[in-house]
Structure 1
Amino acid sequence: MSNATESHLWATYTTTANPNNILNTTTTTTTTTTTTTNAWFSTSDISTTGNSTWWNTSTSTSSEVSLKLPACHHHSSSSSSSSSSSSLLLQPLWDHLLLHHFSLVSSPFFPVLLAFSGYLLFSLPFAAFDLLGEERLPAVHRYKIQRDRRPTLRMMLRSLGTAVYNHLVFVLPLVVIHGLLVPPPALPLHAPTVWQVFSGALGALLVFDAQYFIWHVVHHRNPHLYRWVHAVHHEYYSPFSWSTQQLSAAELMSIGFWSSVDPVLLGLHPLTAWLLTLFSVWLSVEDHVGYDLPCALHRLVPLGLLGGAPAHDMHHQRPATNFAPFFSHWDKLLGTEAHLEEKVITTNTTDKLGESDHAARVGKH
């Protein structure tokens, strides 16, 4: 087909399609080898069956991808055009993910990979701060909340090992079982607007904050639940970045359940859910780092809406306070809020694993 007569499906679709149309994809292995991958699908690739439109493209990995669109409905109203225009900012990113990384982002393992990778990447800088110590990084350690305590390499490896073990033994098998029982959801063709990302993520954070607050209070008030489920997270009096996922399998499953179900119940776009995953992991790590840095989110967000590292560090020192994971309103309303200046000063205390203050300071492990 000549360039003069050839049209492109993507351009045609985005200007005429219903924004709620859904993209369904299947992948089948072929024996034909080709190296062409087109970001834009030409009309020469299109075939029509009934009320559906199909097109095929081949990738460098010798797999043929069949993409199916519901019948395109023409809209003359300005609302469809306005919705399409408002998502233009994120549409290039969404197009890139669908066209070049579809097998990754459509995998049921992708949310787990995203969350665990975020945990690793966000924790590493603070682990380096702790290992280098006050002698080498005095400018950073001036913001350390419990300056007389320093996590050792042994403590860090134990927390990281717990996280890896929980994911290999519990999380991944559950993902496999879920994938066998529940078909993967279709990915939408259009990206969310910036407002949809912001409002959806904020709503999900507020819902999760309330859920975990209730769960947290119950598990602290009930000695049996605390002992068998939540005590693992309190093995260290002074939290550090890797201790973010120092969790029992039951607690990790509870958090994972809400994190997976809430976006579905709220109808969040997959891109919103993925960005929410990274942001919530960052908030969780920042709560545990043990540093009250001037650039921390709880200092940037006004009115003390976020608790941040000081609030959660205080919770590890006084476990009957500061139950909320992110925000501060529930603790303020229910009288469980506490501030660092109210803490009880202790000396020569020992974490549950037997890491004394002196051993932590000099790096013995």
Structure 2
Amino acid sequence: MTSSNSTQLLPLQILWDCLRQQSLLRSPFFPVFFSLTIYLSCCLPYVCLDILCSQLTLIQRFKIQPQSQVSWLYRHFHREHHFYRATFSLTTENSSIWEMLSLSFFTTLNPALLDCHPLTEMLFYITNIYLSVEAHSGYEFPWSPHRLVPFGLYGGAQHHDLHHLKFKVNYAPYFTHWDRLFGTLQGKCTQRRARKLSLKGS
């Protein structure tokens, strides 16, 4: 890096220097406020779609579920998250205290281990929250993020919805490589059969 490059500040650094002076960022409540604001902002469009879904056929065609024996780890950590078998955006953070603590720990550990810039951490959290909300939204749109990743490597809402229907498949919340490796990946045709069975049972 030349001296002329080192004297020029990057735009993100300038933004961070301005933000760092704000008293809100120094508040101990900022992380909670930030996370809650991002989470509710990501949920709002899907909550509006849920409200409109019963009246607009255009939205109904994108809805994944029109109606809506396990290990100790599931019983003590993850069962509460599966209280709703039909996913919707507000169920994203519906989890036990132990699951929430472990997820929060590993979510904050990754950027800390990589020694990321604070704005990069914030971008990581925003992306993580958005992808979680989208995976639980219950909608399969043509512009959904999983369509951007080739070869079915990213699961998306339909992938995670099947996990909520059957529990023992599609464990990975985003990427599908672990499910492929361990034989727990199931696709759309399995989901259609499971949905038909659940509709017959109701």
- What value does the CA root-mean-square deviation take over the aligned residues? 2.1
Q: Does 1:239 align with 2:158?
A: no
Alignment check: 8 A CA contact 1:311 1:322 kept: yes
The one-letter amino acid of 1:245's match is E
For the pair 1:129 / 2:49, whether they are aligned, the reply is: yes
Q: Paired residue for 1:91?
A: 13
> Residue 342 and residue 348 in structure 1: after superposition, are their counterparts in 2 closer, same or farther (change >3 A)?
closer
Q: Structure 1 CA distance, aligned partners of 2:133 and 2:73?
A: 24
Larger radius of gyration: 1
Please tell me whether the aligned partners of residues 81 and 91 of structure 2 are also in contact (alpha carbons under 8 angstroms).
yes
Partner of 1:327: 175
Residue matched to 1:187? none
Residues 169 and 186 in structure 2, CA contact (< 8 A), matched pair in contact too: yes
Match of 2:36 in 1: 116
2:32 matched to 1:146? Answer: no
Give the SS at the match of 1:321: coil
TM-score w.r.t. the length of structure 2 is 0.88
| CA offset digits 1:53-103 (Å, max 9, x no partner) | xxxxxxxxxxxxxxxxxxxxxxxx61x544665x6232332232123x2x2
Unaligned runs of at least 5 residues, structure 1: 1-76, 150-219, 350-356, 358-365
Post-superposition offset of 1:303: 2.8
The structure with the greater share of residues assigned to strand is: 1
Cα pair distance change 1:83/1:303, threshold 3 Å: farther
Q: Is the 8 A contact 1:287 1:310 kept in 2?
A: yes
Please report how far the alpha carbon of residue 312 of structure 1 lies from its aligned counterpart in structure 2 after TM superposition.
Answer: 0.3
Report if aligned partners of 2:138, 2:158 keep a CA contact under 8 Å in 1: yes
* 1:251 to 1:341, Cα distance in 2 relative to 1, 3 A: same
**Once superposed, which parts of structure 1, at least 4 consecutive aligned residues long, lie more than 6 Å away?**
none
Counterparts of 1:339-358 in structure 2 under 5 Å?
Answer: 339-343=187-191, 344=194, 345-346=196-197, 347-349=199-201
| Contact 2:136-2:157 at 8 Å conserved across structures | yes
Aligned twin of 1:230? 78
What is the one-letter code of the residue matched to 1:252? M
